[in-house]
Every structure is written in C-alpha cells, then in structure tokens.
Structure 1
C-alpha cells in the first residue's frame, strides 16, 4: 500500500547480514533526495525526509544490478565501483564463457554487439551474425558472442552503454540508440571484467557476491564443456579465491543449476537463488498450485527465490500492494529478492515491463520509493537489485534494514 506502516519498520529482520565495513566511502548523491521531494505528503515522505542527515552505510539489502548501469557501462570495473560507493553490499557478475572456456562478466553470451565496440573493431569478423544495415523494411541487426572469442580477444574490447540503433546503416551508427534517461558520460576508459576479476574487485570494495550463471547461447556441451562443468567452474573460482560460501548468492534461471549446487556444493547451495520472471510463463500459471509449487522447491532445498518486480506487486484499491504470488511465496517460507529497481527510466507515463500490473497507477518517479516500500514492508524481501543502488541504500539505512 502507499501508506507506510511505521510500526512494522522495526519488526523487519532481513536474513542478509550487513556487509563488512571496508571499501570506499559511501555517498547517496542527490537522487534519493530528489525522489523523496516528489513523494506526496504522508508518513513515508516524513520518515524518509527525516533521514536526510544520516551517515550512509553499506548494506546487503542494496544489490548492484550489473553495477550501476543507469549511468555506467554494465559489468565494468567503473560500474561496480560506482555501486559500491552508493552503498551496495552485494555486487553482481553475470557469468558466461569464452571460446577457451574462461568465465567473464556479461549479461548474455551474445550481447557483445550492444555492450562493446566489437562491430567497429578487427573482431567484427567473429560475429555469428555480421552487421546488416537497416532497410525500409527491416531493422539493422548483428549478433556477437563471447564464445567466438578467446579471453585475450574479449579483454581487447572496449565496453559501452548497452544500446543499439536499429535504424543504422553502418556499424558505427549501430553503436548509438542509447535510451534518453541513460548517459555516455562515464564510458571513457571503462574496463571489462573476468569473473575472477570481479571476485577480487568486489572483495576490495567491501562487498559480497551474487554471480548469475547465464544460459549459454551455444549448444551444450561446448567443446566438451558441460552445463555441470559450467556450474562447477563458477563455484570453484570462489573456492580458489578463499571466499566463504556465506558471502555468495549464486543465481540462475535454470532450476537444474540450482539443484546441482544444492547437491554438489551444499554450502553454496544454501544460498543459491532461483530466478524467475514474468515473461517466462508467469501469466499462464495457475495460482491454485502456487502453494504446492513453492513447497516442492523448499522440499528440494531451494531457499531463495528472486522474481522480477512485476511478479511481486499488484494494484489494490488504486494503491501499489503486495501480490498474491508474493504472499504465497513468503507463506511457504521462501526468502525473496526483487529485481530490478530504477531500470525503467522516468515513470511519468507508467513503469513499463517492471511495473506491468501497476502501470495504470504509476505516474511519478516517486513511485520508485512507493514500490520499494511495498517490497520491503509488505512483501518482506531480503534484498533489492537496482540500476542505481543509492536509492535502495538510503531507504534501507533509514528503515534499519
């Protein structure tokens, strides 16, 4: 609901612990205050405004989604440093693999044409779908995969903001298309990361780890590399680095990956996060089986469920409220993590895909805070991914999460 149940604030006891007190100095910047100023008068605004002078603290309730990609190229050193400086206590490396089976941080194995300069580099010839110019009938297209590159070739690329111009007639033109609410201000000299790089960086930043094992764009096994090998290699790199399992929340949309970790790496499996999203059949599910479905996950050892935000919210009497799905998952004893806040841009015309069930009542950027309050107070999530972690950090600090 839009109102804040202040009495509930002190009752929330999140499972995720406070991150270690190391790393860079933390600053909220101006955005949280900007959003608070836009809130309508009421208990939520009063509570959050009263915290404006608080000292920022890192919190594992705040999770950097690919770092801070609202303004920084995702999965780069710079993006994750920004997220850590905004107080994110957990940082994410989406994990995929190269031709020589090295693990690297990319949102998808086949996104190099939108997230790097590969199309304007000498490596353009490696793309499985070469750049094709737009015509009056068809949009421009390309597809470039990490699995076509060695690790050395991958590291030679320059990252950019995730974008593409489907009207482009040249590879250079295809590099454009950036959403108006994002920026190119922080792309100069940005650095790509291997998974091992991310482990070292996140530890230096005082943050914990939430790697996501991405679905391969190639048929598995790949050069003898099986899905089980892939899942195991991810865990092995934490063990080799001496990272305790309690600091790692490994994620996957593939339930078999989660079950592999539970069965073969039980210490890491305790915190394995099963990702689910609206566009993968959620609207076709039968709510009468949710209790049974969630009980089956729990019985198999799954503890964490991470639904997209649109699965956790609903419209109720003209207000944002916890969905029936969220309530059923919590009733089954699953720990919930929500993704991803502040990915939709300005909310004046609704919140797009992430706010699908409540788009008709979302009309101001302040609704990011309203939705966040519902996720924390009514849904009872243990953490929230965000493209700009300062907002979640501010809220969590203010509410004692």
Structure 2
C-alpha cells in the first residue's frame, strides 16, 4: 500500500474507513496509533518512509434546533430572595424568552438532577441555555479519552460494580461466603482499568455510594435526598469524540478538563505529554477551532505545556484554582491575604495564563453584616488583566444552613436558596466574571439573559 502518494481526500477516506471498521467490530485503537498508520507510508520509488501530514475533513455535525427552557427552578429561586431591587429586576424578566448564553457554562452537564457526563445531562444543559459544555477527560487502558470527572470514580458514577467488569477494578467489591459486601469503603474502579468498549457498556448514575453498605444494591442506591434518580434511567456515557460531536451539533463551545491521572505515568508507555497533546489533537481532528475550546486543568504544568506547544489553544486555557493547588507552603489559603497564595496573580499573568477559574468562595467575601463583596483575590485578578470564570454554582444542597464549602466564609450572607442570585450578581457585576459553571445551568442562564450577558 502506498499511502504517501494518496490525495488528501483519499487519506481522509482511509482514516475514516479505519475508524468505521473498528466501530463495527466494537474495538478501538488510540487516535495516535491510527494516525501513525496513515502518516508513515512507503515511497514506491526508493522504498524510504515518507511523512505525509493528513488533511482531514471536519467532523462537526449540523446544529440541532433547540427549544430553550428555564423550567421552574430559576423562578423558585427568585421568589425565595429577600426583598431587594435585584429581586424586582429579576422578577420583571419572568416573561423573557430563554436563549443560549456563553455566560452559562454546563458543569458536567446538569448533574443537580441528571447523572453527570451523560447524554441526557448534556442535552438538559443545552436546553437550559448553557453556551459552553464541559467534559472532564480521563483515559481508558487502550488510550481512548472519555468523559468522567475523575479517573477513579466509575464505582460512584456508573453501574460498574453491578456488572462483570467489577472484577477488573483496581479494588473490586468483595462478597463473602454469606453474600455480604465487606469492603464498601475501599472499592475503586478506574477508567484505566477497562477498555473504551467496556466503558461504553456502562450506564451512568447519580454520583453517590454508601461506604457502609453490605450489599451492592445498597452501595449504589445512595443518591442525596436533595437530588433525584428520576432522570437516571438511560445514563449513556460518552467518549470525548462523541462529546465533541454532540456539543458541536448543539452549537455549544467546549471546555475539556484534563484530569490528573491516579496511575503512575507513563502508563503502559502512555506519557503525560502524550495525554496533554491527545486532548488538543482530538479537537483538531474534529475540526473545532481553537477559539471555541477552553481547555482546563488544576495542574499548572498542563497549562504550561499548552502555552509552549499549542499556543492557539492555550490562548483560552483555563487554570482552575482552589486552596488545594494555590496555598503557599505552610499556609492556609485566605482569599484576602496575598501572603497565603502560592502564586501572585501577576506571576500567573506573566507566565502566559490568560484565564483563571477559582472556586466561587475564593472570589466573594462578606463585610460580616450580610453584604457580599469581591475578595482581594478577585480584585487582584482583575487588576492584573486576567479573565475570570468560576465554579460551581448549585453544587451544594439547600442553602438554609449556609451552603457549605462552596460558600466558605459567607455564612452571614447565605441563609436561603434565593441567595444564590445575590452571589451570581456580585460575581457578574462586581467581580466581573466572564462565565459561571453550574450544576443547573438554567439558573445562570436566566440571570444572564435578564442582564443581557451573552
């Protein structure tokens, strides 16, 4: 076979034929390996190898027509607000026509009520007007990239423990002679334990597990009471390639997060740099322009790699921040005390970082009397010319008791669900964030559309 003399269209046809045959056979090879078959060919004249860069057609699907809807939750939240000019303004928008906005970023889809990183969850977020869709990226043992929040969360986010694949888990469930589950607290199932074909056989579920369970069913049936299993009946999980095709068909932009491997790298010869590059290459092959992709990571070394090797995609690279990765040595992170920060905001900007995404509680503080204000961290980010995103709204349960981790240091200002709208307003109007990740995008979409944030 002489690949080096094929036309660009012939090479593209061959590439697609390889992929289609693998799909029909139910098997997969890593993208990099398939590409190698097509890039390295034999020159008939002298028998030498020739490198032929492929020109591949975009795989973007036609944009689907969506009927956008807010549902009832934004109205519940606005009605629950304390009386204020903001409440009056938001109430006055109740008759507005829902529309898509990039200010609303779907965090794993719509996992407040849908199993995260599933087709139904993604579709729900699109219908709520989210303009950007997230895929947390992990890899399988055959080098395929898939959408999971962590490499090692299959036991809590899918039905794997109830399938024969449980035997392949890093720490499989142990059932004793009496049929009792004996190690519920220790079970661990990783994407790298299985192939992409195995992964696609799984069903996504609400992220939960009972670490004290003595049966598989009790282990799995642990959804928090403020969530629901009503929309957990299908749970189709997606590869990154499938996610890209879906988001593109919905007219949404993309924000993949490179998740930190829990296995030792290199993994079977698969290096960190290969992983970093494969994420970007998957978007390139799909024909997605760099301007529509916001690659994310909590690992600053990942951002550095993209800055050095993929500058076009690095322009929109997002450095995710919380106290776990940005606390100075020996310090407890204080959003109002720069001496507790691992990197100054000026350092990050000078390094080539353009966009940061701190956890919400890092950006908002309180005056101690119920008034929300931008934190010192937020003000310094703005002063240094950094664009700001934030995560993740509606990740907590009901806010009557203060909202927990995502609202750290704000207990005097957070005492009912309607206060979510006050937090959004400070983030948008005073902190100046460009977008908010949310587990229920309709809430952010409603606010953004009311305020004209596109």
Alpha-carbon deviation of 1:252? 0.4
Give the CA RMSD over aligned residues: 2.0
Q: For CA contacts below 8 A with separation 6 or more, give which structure has more relative contact order.
A: 1
Aligned match for 1:193, one of 206, 230, 238 = 238
Q: Which residue of 1 aligns with 2:173?
A: 131
Say whether 1:294 aligns with 2:339.
Answer: no
Distance 2:63 2:378 in 1: 32
Deviations 1:231-253 (A, max 9, x none): 10000011001000000000001
TM-score, normalization: structure 2?
A: 0.81
Distance 1:39 1:167 in 2: 38
Q: Which residue of 1 aligns with 2:97?
A: 55
Q: Which residue of 2 aligns with 1:150?
A: 195
TM-score, normalization: structure 1?
A: 0.91
Distance 2:184 2:191 in 1: 23
Question: Which SS does the other structure have where 1:109 is aligned?
Answer: coil
Aligned match for 1:67, one of 100, 109, 133 = 109
Distance 1:393 1:296 in 2: 33
Q: Which residue of 1 aligns with 2:427?
A: 375
In the TM superposition, what are the counterparts of 1:1-400 in structure 2 within 5 Å?
23-132=65-174, 140-280=185-325, 282=327, 283-284=332-333, 287-288=338-339, 293-316=344-367, 317-400=369-452
Distance 2:408 2:63 in 1: 37
Corresponding pairs, count: 381
- Distance change (3 Å), C-alpha of 1:255 and 1:292: closer
Distance 1:292 1:173 in 2: 44
**Comparing 301-310 with 125-134, which one deviates more in the overlay?**
125-134
**Comparing 253-262 with 278-287, which one deviates more in the overlay?**
278-287
**Contact kept? 2:389, 2:433, Cα under 8 Å:** yes
Q: Which residue of 2 aligns with 1:5?
A: none
Alpha-carbon deviation of 1:138? 8.5
Q: Which residue of 2 aligns with 1:6?
A: none
Distance 1:321 1:22 in 2: 40
Which of the two has higher C-alpha Rg? Answer: 2
**Contact kept? 1:291, 1:328, Cα under 8 Å:** no
Distance 1:140 1:291 in 2: 33
| Unpaired stretches in structure 1, ≥5 consecutive residues | 1-19
